[in-house]
Amino acid sequence: MKNLPRVLAGLIALWGAAAYADTTLTVYTALEADQVKAYQDKFEQENPGIHIKWVRDSTGVITAKLLAEKNNPQADVVMGVAASSLLILDKEGMLSPYAPKGVDKLTKSYVDSKNPPAWAGMDVWGATICFNTVEAAKQGLKKPESWKDLLKPEYKGKIVMPNPASSGTGYFDVSAWLKIFGEKGGWEYMDGLHQNIAQYEHSGSKPCKQAATGEYPIGISFEYRAASLKKGGAPIDLVFPKEGLGWDLEATGIMKGTKNLDAAKKLADWSASHSANELYEKNFAVVAMPGVAKPIEFIPGNYEQMLIKQDLSWSAANRDRILAEWTKRYDSKSEPK
Amino acid sequence: MTAALNAVVRKTGARLPQSGSDRVAGALSWLSMLFLLVFLGLPLVAILGKALQDKSGGYVGLSNFAGLFDAHFTYLLGNSVTVSLASTAIVIPLAYGFAAALMRSQMPGKSVFRMLALIPLLAPSLLPGISLVYLFGNQGVLKSWMGEGSIYGPIGIVLGEVFYTFPHALMILLTALSLADARLYEAATSLGAGRVRQFFTVTLPSVRYGLISAAMLVFTLVITDFGVPKIVGGRYDILAVEIYKQVIGQQHFGLGSVYGLFLLLPAVLSWLVDRFVQRKQKALLSARAQPLLPRRHWPSDTLATLFCVLVCGWLIGMLGMSVAAAFIKQWPYNLAPGLAHFDFDNMDGGGWLAWRNSLKLALGTALVGGVLVFMGAYWVEKTRAGVLPRAVTGFLAVLPMAVPGMVLGLGYIFFFNAPGNPLNALYGTMALLVLCTTVHYYSTAHLTAVTALKQLDGEFEHVAASLKVPFWTTLRRVTLPICLPAALEIARYFFVSAMTTVSAVIFLYTPDTVLSSVAVLNMDDAGDTAAAAAMATVVVATSALICLVFGGASWLALRRTQGWRKH
């Protein structure tokens, strides 16, 4: 123990060195866990000296966390979080507007309309139904073609979907149904669907993963997860309901009050760059920079046309109201009847 | 004689001249008390404060408590109580049968059965949930056993909780059954009472307090656990999961803490009952009692063996299912073995960092917790420390038993994350996780230490004091070596508990301090059930390995330091 002071001094020195050599950016994200590594590697390679520390969870959880920390923000940057959530943060005055280098090269409708923009989009992610063909054959289930098809009694207890309060995928499903079927028709549709839903899941990925194992034959999910599971050998078909697909943008914004503004700007720049869009393109059929996207296996070429006309600021402004109504209807008394 | 001497010394202690050693001991005992006050008392007080605030921190009086009177709460509470009662009703007879087989029969392989029965302690409570999905889920191996029913819901929750709480109930019942007076059975036999009559007139009355304690403990464990229902609850909502959703999902701390305070009720109640029961239990056994030696009785020994084989088979089956699932490439379509699910770095949960962190937490808790608990118990039992720190430490040390981990975790957020708190720097660090886990499991460790210290005659200290030997010399040369097996047991208990705990730490971890037990939950939330099984397997393997190491160390220690016990 005579060496204790020396050991302690050494430890403190090490800790100090680790703390000051680099800038560490705390980045809140709802990106998929199997995507973030590639993005991080590329960014850190192009911006030596800046480290990303991810705080990852589903969209709803990340949004709630950011709002709860409003008076004492922990994040430097929000990246890969739904634009409908970033709009809420902006309304609360929590984002620091910044025009990333080359932002004018991005599709205009995928960037915040203000100048300078509070956030810039990365890619579009949209609704997809995962349909397990093996289990369907066993149970004699017909492949659904539309959202309305999911109301058929034969699907009772066979469908899983994400909980819109925790999942961004779940939320754009709900807001899209309210658009497609109208406010009244939308809730009637969900009342009917509720009768067939086996469980509401925490994340947008889980329903498709459960469809992939056949735990439940039908999972309402999104296209990246569906395509990547099918590529991995899961016996699923991707269904794109013909009424149209709900969607949202994954987007990046800088938190107001960040102590690492320069590094944060670097990440915002990178997020809008060509090399970043090349990485998004590997996962998504529609990315913010025009001309970068290439066809993705299992996703039809006209995917962008299947997305519904949707006003993200409406989704943002009505989020609290819609979620409260949804929770009241389906979460509070979610005992199956 | 010694007792009389002790009493005299205690009474006159205040008037004896204080030596330097006494002053050091006195100061340290204040420190022990301060530790428990800051890391247990104040966080609990902070929850009360938070329950009076709204989402943005404004004072709202008792309006959050209105949440306890709406239909949603009644519904959740009804569900929680139902599954808790059902689990208790199944576990207690099961554990009693097992304990009786171990203590009151002459069946072979008792030590193996006893070891296997502790399997569930090595795993986070999420593991039985995952196993049940693979066993009885819609694609489960034994799906046909479920008939038209579904594992997602009350059936799954109860089955999982029975697995998770079995060893806890068993340990209490083993102790209860070990207190038996053979003379009572002899008397009953000579009076012509048959085995059944003896069970109802002799055995049952003697273990009734143990049964009550075990039942209360199981009920409390189930009603506060959210690991099992999170995985197999389906659409059957219960209180503990709702707290998790409110706090983690919606960041709605006010309602979460009101529900949390409510969950303190069954825990505090069972704690009070337990204290009452322990007092009664002591009086049961007189000094003239004869130890009961079970006699060979072929039919009942065979029955006992069969029963234990069945129970252990079920425990191993549950564990084995998760382990198997972890190594299967793509359940249920490609059953080839593979290691893909152990590629944690490409999944939610924090990757292998989570496992390394858990290891750090477990080692840290074993060390820090071990020292803090042992020292705390030492001041209380062996030194002439002040009356106040002794009383307060004695009370606070057993309090954590009544505090669900979830409530403790919430209290830590509120207390340590308060901007004005000078200890705010601890928030989000591994150090705080270590301290929180130490406090969470303090009681059991403290009682183990107290029991070990009580076995030592107080005269060691008195003689040392009169020879002017400071307490630390006595501690180092006499007390510690003798208590080494107990100290090792405490460290092992802390290690395994820290490795598997979810409930308190889930509110406190950060991306740098993710833990493997929490990762299991997050992976399942993301839909990576097989990876969650893989992580749970890694946790079990680590805990099991450490148990073996500690087992070996304590065997060595026994051989080296405990030879005198044989004489």
Structure tokens, B110: 């008792």
Measure B280 CA to nearest chain A CA, in Å: 44
Burial track A97-122 (b if 16+ CB lie within 10 A, e otherwise): ebbbeebeebeeebbbeeeebbbbbb
Cα–Cα distance, B98 to B104 (Å, whole number): 10
- CA separation for the pair A134, A185 (Å, rounded): 33
The model's pLDDT over A97-140, given as tens digits with 9 standing for 90+, comes to: 999 999 999 999 999 999 999 999 999 999 999 999 999 999 99
On chain B, the residues whose CB falls within 8 A of the CB of A58 are 525
B527–chain A Cβ distance below 8 A for any pair: yes
In a domain, A178, yes or no: yes
**pLDDT at residue A207 is higher than 50:** yes
Annotated ligand binding at A224? The verdict is: yes
Percent with pLDDT over 70 in chain B: 94
Q: In this structure, what CATH number is given to the domain that contains residue A240?
A: 3.40.190.10
A169 assigned to some structural domain: yes
Structure tokens, A292? 């970068």
Quick check: is A152 in a domain?
yes
N-terminal to C-terminal alpha carbon distance within chain A: 67
DSSP B402: G
pLDDT on residue A71: 83
Query: Is A12 within the bounds of a domain?
Result: no
Residues A209, B528: C-beta atoms closer than 8 Å:
yes
User: CA-based Rg of chain A, rounded to a whole angstrom?
Assistant: 21
Q: Give yes or no: residues A221 and A80 share one domain.
A: no
User: With bands split at pLDDT 50, 70 and 90, how would you rate the model's confidence at B562?
Assistant: low
B235: chain A residues, CB-CB within 8 Å = 198-200, 334-336
**Which residue from A216, A235, A336 is facing B235, i.e. has the nearest CB?**
A336
**In the prediction, which pLDDT does A337 show?**
34
Residues A319 and A207 in one domain: yes
User: Among B123-137, B318-332, B369-383, B488-502, where is mean pLDDT lowest?
Assistant: B369-383
As a whole number of Å, the end-to-end CA separation of chain B is: 22
Pairing of strands A77-82, A218-222: unpaired
Q: Where are the beta strands (DSSP E) in B125-186?
A: none
> Nearest residue of A to residue B234 by CA position?
A199
φ and ψ at residue A163, rounded to 5 degrees:
-75, 120
Residue A27 forms part of a structural domain: yes
Asked if the model's pLDDT at residue B514 lies above 90, the reply is yes
Determine how β-strand A286-287 pairs with β-strand A120-132: antiparallel
Distance (Å, whole) CA B498 – CA B517:
9
In order of their start, the domains of chain B are 21-50+343-567 (1.10.3720.10), 73-285+292-334 (1.10.3720.10)
Q: In the predicted model, what is the mean pLDDT of residues B503-516?
A: 91
What are B348-357's pLDDT values in tens digits?
A: 888 999 999 9
- Same domain? A103 vs A149: no
For residue range B171-228, list pLDDT tens digits in order. Answer: 999 988 887 788 888 899 999 988 889 899 888 888 888 899 899 999 999 999 999 9
Mapping DSSP to helix (H, G, I), strand (E, B) and coil, where does residue A5 land? helix
**Per-residue pLDDT, A263:** 96
Q: What is the mean pLDDT of chain B?
A: 88
Regarding whether A101 and A36 lie in a shared domain, the answer is: yes
Taking only the tens place, the pLDDT of each residue in A229-238 is 999 999 999 9
CA distance to A160, A215, A233, B342, B561, per residue, from B333 (Å): 20, 12, 9, 19, 56
Instruction: Please state the domain count of chain A.
Output: 2
Q: Give the span between the Cα atoms of B536 and B128, in whole angstroms.
A: 10
Model pLDDT for residues A290-311, shown as the tens digit of each residue: 999 999 999 999 999 999 998 9
Residue range B286-293: average pLDDT? Answer: 75
Subunit contact B526:A203, Cβ cutoff 8 A = yes
* A14 inside domain: no
B301 is written with which tokens? 């020994």
**How far apart (Å, rounded) are the C-alpha atoms in residues A199 and A205?**
14
pLDDT higher than threshold 70 for residue B5: no
Instruction: Choose among A195, A304, A303: nearest CA to A239.
Output: A303
Average pLDDT, chain A: 92
Q: Is residue A5 part of a domain?
A: no
Cis peptide, bond prior to residue A116, ω within 30 of zero: yes
Q: Let me know if A82 is exposed, middle or buried by CB neighbors in 10 A (0-12, 13-18, 19+).
A: buried
**Co-location of A130 and A113 in the same domain:** no
**Six token digits for residue B11:** 């009474």
Closest residue on chain A to B335 (Cα): A213
Other beta carbons within 10 angstroms of residue A294's beta carbon come to: 10
Residue A51 shares a structural domain with residue A105? yes
- On whether any CB of chain A is under 8 Å from the CB of B237, the answer is yes
User: Are A214 and A318 members of one domain?
Assistant: yes
Q: Give me the residue from B137, B253, B527 closest to A203, CB to CB.
A: B527
Same domain, yes or no, for A202 and A133? yes
| A146 and A34 both lie in a single domain | no
pLDDT value at A318 more than 60: yes
A199/B234 Cβ within 8 A: yes
Q: Which domain holds residue A159?
A: 125-246+311-331
* Statement to judge: residues A74 and A182 lie in one domain: no
Tell me what the mean pLDDT of segment B446-456 comes to. 88
**CB–CB contact B526 A201 (8 Å):** no
The pLDDT of residue A6 is 63
Q: Which residues pair with B145 in a beta bridge?
A: none
Exposure of B312 in the CB half-sphere (CA atoms within 13 A):
20
Facing A33 at nearest CB: one of B133, B526, B529: B526
Q: Which residues pair with A127 in a beta bridge?
A: A222
Q: Is the pLDDT of residue A50 over 60?
A: yes
The model's pTM: 0.90
Structure confidence at residue A139 (pLDDT): 95
Using a CB-CB cut-off of 8 Å, the residues of chain B touching A19 are none
Chain B residues in contact with A210 (beta carbon < 8 A): 527
Residues A36, A55: one domain?
yes
> Does the pLDDT value for residue B79 go beyond 70?
yes
- B413 against B519, higher pLDDT: B519
- CB-based contacts of B183: which residues, under 8 Å, 6+ apart? B288, B289, B290
Domain membership of residue A55 (yes or no) is: yes
Which of B45-59, B118-132, B183-197 has the weakest average pLDDT? Answer: B45-59
Give the mean model confidence (pLDDT) for residues A44-66: 92
Residues A134 and A223 in one domain: yes
E strands, B39-144, where? none
User: A58-67, B187-196, B453-462, B511-520 — which is least confidently predicted?
Assistant: B453-462
